[in-house]
Amino acid sequence: MRKPTNPFIVSGYHSPAYFCNRESELAWLTEQFANERNAVLYSWRRMGKTALLKHFFYHLEKTNRGEGVFVDLLGTINLTEANKRIATAIVNRFGEMGSGLGVRLLKLIGAIGATVGLDPMSGTPQVTFGLSNSQSIPASFDAIGNFLAERKKPVVICIDEFQQINNYEENNAEAVFRTWMQNFPMIRFVFSGSHRGMMTSMFSEEARPFYRSAQLKSLEPLKPDKYALFIESHFSKGEKKIARTQVDKIFVWTRMQTYYAQLICNKLYSKGNVVSDSLLQEAYTEVLQQEIPIFSTYQQLLTAFQWKLLVTLARHEAVANPLSQDFLSQNSLGAASSVSAALRTLEKKDFVIYENNRYILHDTLLMRWLQSI
C-alpha cells in the first residue's frame, strides 16, 4: 500500500503506523472475538470508533484468525435499507474481482432477491435489489446469516451507527436484529454507535430485546501522553518540529476529539517546519472556515430560541445547571420551562450532550465557531 504523504490521516484507516495506540481497546475486541462474545462499542462522534474497528479488522485478517465485514447504517431509515447495506457490504467484501463471485455468494444473492452485475466504470460487483417487500426481510437476514456462518474462517460483522435502528419505520427493528444475532451463534457481532444514551439503554434495559446480550465498552479520548508522542514522532520523521506545549494547546482547543486533533495536525504538517503560535492560529482559522458552510445550515434546523441556547452553552463551554436562576437571568433566557424544552430538543438532535454532570456541545468545532461569532 502506498504511504500517505501526510501522516495525519483524516478519513478512514490506513495501517497501524498511522494509528495511535488503542492497544487496550484492540485487546478487548480481540478477547471478545476469541471467546465468542458479541460486543458494543460506543462513544461520542469523531472519537475514533470506526477507525478502531478497521484497526481491529486489520489485525484479525493479518493474523488469519477471521474475516471482517463492515456495515454502516448511517442514513438508513428502515429494515429493507439495512438489509441492502448488509448484503452490499458482503458482496463487496467477498466478491472476488476477476475470479467471479463464487457459488455460495451467487446463491445468497439469489436468495435475497437481488441481481449482480459489474460496474462498468470501476469493474467492481454491483448489487441491485428488486422491489422487495418487508415480508422477505427475515428470510433475507437468514440467508445472509447462513452465508456468513458457512465461511471457513470465523466472521465478525461490525454494524456501525447502530443507534439508527431506533428511528426505523418499523417498531420491531431491535427484535429483528436480536433474533438474527441469536440464530447465528457462530457469527460475531460488533455493534457500534455514536449516541451513548441510545446505545447503553438498548443493551442494558431489561425490557429491551438486546438486554444483556453483548459486552459494552465506551471509547474514551486518546491518552494525551501517548497521542503527544505519536504526533511528535510523525513530525520528527518528516523533519519537522512541534513542541509539547503546542500539542497541549491543540488538545485543549479540540477537547481531545480525535478527528479534529488529526485535522489540525494534518494542516500544521503541511504548513511549515516549525509549529509556532501563529501557525497554530492559522490552522484553527482554516479548519473553521472549511466548516462554516455546514454550520450555518444548522441554524435552520433550530428555532431562534434553541439557537440562542446553543450559542449560550457554547460560550460557557460546559454548564452544570442551565435551569438555575443565575444562569437564566445572566443570559436573559427567560423561563426555566422553555430552556428545559429547548435543551431536550438540542439533546435529541445530538447538538448537546450531557456528560460528567454538565451540558456540552457534541461538536467541538461547532462550539469554537459559535464562540467566535
Q: What residue is closest to ligand ADP based on CB?
A: 48
* Dihedral sign for Cα atoms in the order 8, 42, 26, 62: negative
Measured CA distances, 245 to 225, 242, 248, 263 (Å): 12, 8, 5, 18
Residue 215 CB, nearest distance to ligand ADP (Å)? Answer: 18
What is the H or E stretch that residue 5 is in? none
Contact flag: residue 45 with ligand ADP (CB under 6 A): yes
Binding ligand ADP (rule: CB under 6 A), the pick from 38, 50, 83, 164 is 50
Site string for Mg ion, 35-64 (x = CB under 5 A): --------------xx--------------
Contact flag: residue 262 with Mg ion (CB under 5 A): no
Helix ranges (H only) for 100-156 are 103-111, 137-149
Residue 160 CB, nearest distance to Mg ion (Å)? Answer: 6
Residue 16 CB, nearest distance to Mg ion (Å)? Answer: 19
Binding ligand ADP (rule: CB under 6 A), the pick from 26, 33, 38, 49 is 49
Residue 41 CB, nearest distance to ligand ADP (Å)? Answer: 9
Q: CB under 5 to 8 A by kind: which of Mg ion, ligand ADP, none does 196 bind?
A: none
Site string for ligand ADP, 143-182 (x = CB under 6 A): ----------------------------------------
Which are the contacts of 55, defined by CB distance < 8 A and separation ≥ 6?
13, 16, 19, 22, 26
Question: What is 218-280 written as a DSSP string?
Answer: EPPPPPHHHHHHHHHHHHHHTT-B--HHHHHHHHHHHTT-HHHHHHHHHHHHHH-SB--HHHH
Segment 14-43, which members bind ligand ADP (CB under 6 A)? Answer: 19-22, 43
Residue with smaller CB distance to ligand ADP, 48 or 322: 48
Q: Which residues pair with 274 in a beta bridge?
A: 241
Contact flag: residue 202 with ligand ADP (CB under 6 A): no
Spatial CA neighbour of 96 closest among 71, 64, 124, 120? 124
Q: What value does the CA radius of gyration of the chain take, rounded to a whole number of Å? A: 23
Asked if 265 contacts 20 with a C-beta cutoff of 8 angstroms, the reply is: no
Contact flag: residue 258 with ligand ADP (CB under 6 A): yes
Site for ligand ADP, rule CB under 6 A:
9-12, 19-22, 43, 45-51, 194, 222, 258-259, 262
Site for Mg ion, rule CB under 5 A:
49-50
